[in-house]
Amino acid sequence: MKNWFSPAFAFLVFMVPALAQVTQVVPPHFPVHTKLPDQAELTSSAPQQSDYDMGRQLIRKKQYADAIAHLERALADRPRDAELLNDLGLAKRMTRDYDGALYYDQRALTFDPDDKDAHEDLGELYLAKSDLSSAQKELARLTTLCPSGCDERNALSQSIGGYKPAPGVVH
């Protein structure tokens, strides 16, 4: 006579009822998933922050040196983006790389000659380099771009008004 009491039968007889009792003790607030997410859902639920976004976030936190690396990587994909070039110019200026800042600010204006942020930043750069005359030219350009006033014009005007040349600089 065959042994009808196999290990599989024992599992069904003894373990299934025990498992059923265990599932009843799960607290009601415990999430029970009936469907596992597929690979597309897993990858789309956690978007990666772009280098450009990360660079801008670091600028807002005044972490300019760290921002430069991210913005330079983003530049590979967006070499004609005036806003990106201007952000790189700002970060370079804030780390006292004035030649690098001048390069990126001028490139930004090459692609968007009416970019008010770039004109303001370029004016601020000229002040940092003790070049009041060039800063005033950028203010004149902003006056043309926004004759009724704008934030960029007001900011540069205020910086020029508070400008004091570095000791030993003659204008």
3-state secondary structure 71-125: HHHHHHHCCCCHHHHHHHHHHHHHCCCHHHHHHHHHHHHHHCCCCHHHHHHHHHH
- Rounded to the nearest integer, the mean pLDDT of the chain is 82
Please, what are the domains in the chain? 51-160 (1.25.40.10)
Q: Give the span between the Cα atoms of 55 and 86, in whole angstroms.
A: 12
Higher pLDDT, 115 or 23: 115
Cβ atoms < 10 Å from Cβ of 104? 27
Residues 6+ apart with CB under 8 A from 84: 52, 71, 74, 75, 78
The answer, yes or no, to whether residue 164 has pLDDT greater than 70, is yes
What tens digit of pLDDT does each residue of 67-116 get? Answer: 999 999 999 999 999 999 999 999 999 999 999 999 999 999 999 999 99
